Structure 1
Amino acid sequence: MVDPNPHIESLRLLDRIKGVSWYTVLGESFVRQLGGSDRLRGQMSPHRDIVFHSYSNGLLIRAGAVPELGGRGLPPP
């Protein structure tokens, strides 16, 4: 039997960030709600390691050249 709850919950997050990681994907309608791609790029311009890639349905954001490994406050693995 399939548990429908994760799918039902995902509908409420349709226009929201589901998680933030090295790569974060934002849908087109959410990018518009945030003021558009140009505004987001402008707000992040001081952070030269953040890279934006537009695609047909939204925006892909890469935070840094490589992902950070390990947990906060812990030594690197």
Structure 2
Amino acid sequence: MSQKDLFRMLAESRLRQKDCSAIRSRSLEKIPQTQDALLREIEQLRDRIRAAGVGQDSLAEKRYIKLLEAKRILDQSHAS
């Protein structure tokens, strides 16, 4: 492998790194919007579950748990 090839690979690597940084920045900008949407749906499901009575709407309860898990993961990724 020649020195020219190494410099080309280095340049390509730096371009990919810039692309990755740009993608990360855009995704970090969207996290608050996603968190807000999750919170709204979590609150709606919680109200629906309370109105029906716990154990009466298993689909809503499963969705509620999945959304709580998704929010926890999103919060953790935003914190790092």
TM-score normalised to the size of structure 2? 0.33
Q: Which protein has the larger Cα radius of gyration, Structure 1 or Structure 2?
A: 2
Whichever structure has more strand as a proportion of its residues is 1
TM-score by length of 1: 0.34
